[in-house]
Structure 1
Amino acid sequence: MPNVVDGDYAISFPAMRGVQAHREFYVVMVPLRYLPRLFLFDEEEIPAELRAQRALNKNRLPGLVRYIVDNRSGYVFSALTASVDGTMGFAAHDAEGHGARLGVLHIGLGARFLINDGQHRRAAIEEALRLDPSLAEETIPVVIFADEGLARSQQMFADLNRHAVRPAKSIGILYDHREDDASITRLLVIRSDFFRGVVEMERSTLAAASRKLFTLSALYNATSVLLAGLKFDTAEEAARVARQYWEMVVEQFPEWQEVRRGRLPAGDIRRDFIHSHGIALHAMGRVGNTLLHQSLNPEDWRDRVKRIGTLDWSRANTRLWESRALVGGRVSKATNNVTLTTNALRQHLGLSLSPEEQRVEDAYLQGRT
């Protein structure tokens, strides 16, 4: 016999029943192959005020699709949230106790399923299924509410996203065991007596009173550009080369070492010097990349690295740093400012600029005349 709810043919899902704000909702497990056909999102070209979802950002999809396909044995997706505009009936396993919350959810075939949260995951799964049909029988949880109209659906979207907080980049790097650069940076910190004591591993910004000099995300960015284009057999080998370079850089800044020993407040050093900010680390990483491409032997670039510390990194040196690393006296992370800071360091070390760096430098010099 086909499933029927209120006289309408129905599709059925094993489900759990719950209550929030006096409203029943259900959690069901949906095979991925059914997701694109059943659960829709509002794709119509209509004004935002008449939609219950933000517009789909198709630029996000390739990254999500690659994540699924490239991590076939390790991808993780959280539940979608959807509203059902149509007939629903829940048949509990038992009349009372835990069994009253477990059962089968019947949804009429004429019902409309609308995704309130997770439209990008749904669209990525649809594309991933085309690339890897073996995903078809895997499942994803979907939280289902009864549709109560546009205003309620819009409020659900607002509430679901109101308190969503993207984790700091540093903790994402700390916990990322897939990406090589993240693993290399973690190894660098763990095995360096200096960095292990001065790198903030969880947050991506430093409070004025923080005892740390750098964030893990800043060191990650700098180490990624340091090793860009270089080939290593293992992450261990890459981390060893990065450690050789960075520890030689550390030797050029006595202030950093005094912070590590607890003799100087890290906040004072960040306040007074450019060299203790992520923009300077990034510039040192780009310069180091040039040196490493010339030779992986530290003795071949030791003299050049020693000159890094002889540049006047003082924040008071506004003649050099204003409009390069500083904008209105504040450190700027803008791409052009990173390039201009790199240019200052390259010129100090007697290294040539790339064509793009020269273009940015010419525009900077023209603006100063």
Structure 2
Amino acid sequence: MKKIIFTGGGSAGHVTVNLALIPKFIEAGWSTGYIGSNNGIERELVTPISSVSYYSISTGKLRRYLDFQNIKDPFKVVRGVFQAYQIIKSQKPDIVFSKGGFVSVPVVIGAWLNKIPVIIHESDLTPGLANKLAIPFASVICTTFPETANSLGKNKCHYVGPVLREKLKQGNAERGRIFTRFTKRGKPTILIMGGSLGARRINQVVRDSLSKLTEHFQIVHLCGKGQLDSSLTNSDYRQYEYINEELPDILAMCDFVISRAGSNSIFEFLYFKKPMILIPLTKEQSRGDQLLNAASFERNGYCKVLYEEHLSTETLLEYIEEISQNKELFIRNMSQFESKDALSIVYNLIMNTAKK
């Protein structure tokens, strides 16, 4: 029996591509494992899949800024490398697939020490620190943006495009309306997402704008864990901490999206031709990858970018009005995007690399 081990974590974006690939390998009869952290979101998302064996290792966050934890975390990473090496040595997988995040670095190095081929997937326009450290140990690098492959060199890079979860394509707008209990078909619906942990600044501005927003729109607000506001009772407003199973139906139902600019999410919106307002994380909050992702989408006419430092009730309403008035233009621009079957491309790359 062929074996594959997946890794990646720290955020939902470092897990979703793995979740899209795992069913294909289970269906093909492969033994499937996952190496992640003990308490990360990857454990929460992967362990419900009964066919996947989950292994946890020590992890240390890779920071670009001064922090006392920087003294201790390298030792955690070294311990994680030793643990990953032992797991891979005992499991003897044919290949390791890494989606990135700080937990993936020890796994990639552990696979390399065991002479197991590694395929890395990079979602963002520029590689994150974890993938930068892991790339020298990889056999193949898959990229979502064509610019990424150009900057890394084409020796082991493959531009595959966005990997989409199959279940997202099965959304049904009527089921979305039943779930949200929205009945006003003539009123456009806006889906607002602040990332897997939510975004307090976005949440606050949306709620401050709610009375004016709901004059013309129905709002589905994914606000993040612990950020529900029970005092709001507007009939055209629905708030949820997080949605998983119902997300395909909500996407099918909505007309516009307001979101952070994580690569996996924005390419899903692009696939479904949903005009977007993107509010990327600032450089103070991240390494700047969302700023680059959002700028690329704006250049191609897929979205409007509203920088967080300019975010207010006035600017939010102004951008929503603009995107609503120009909806057809955004949809035409998005229709020109050449969509690849990235899931099948990556699957075949894994199969071929494992055979070699």
Q: TM-score range by the shorter chain?
A: under 0.3
- TM-score normalized with structure 2 length: 0.25
State the structure with more CA Rg: 1
- TM-score normalized with structure 1 length: 0.25
Give the structure with the higher percent helix.
1
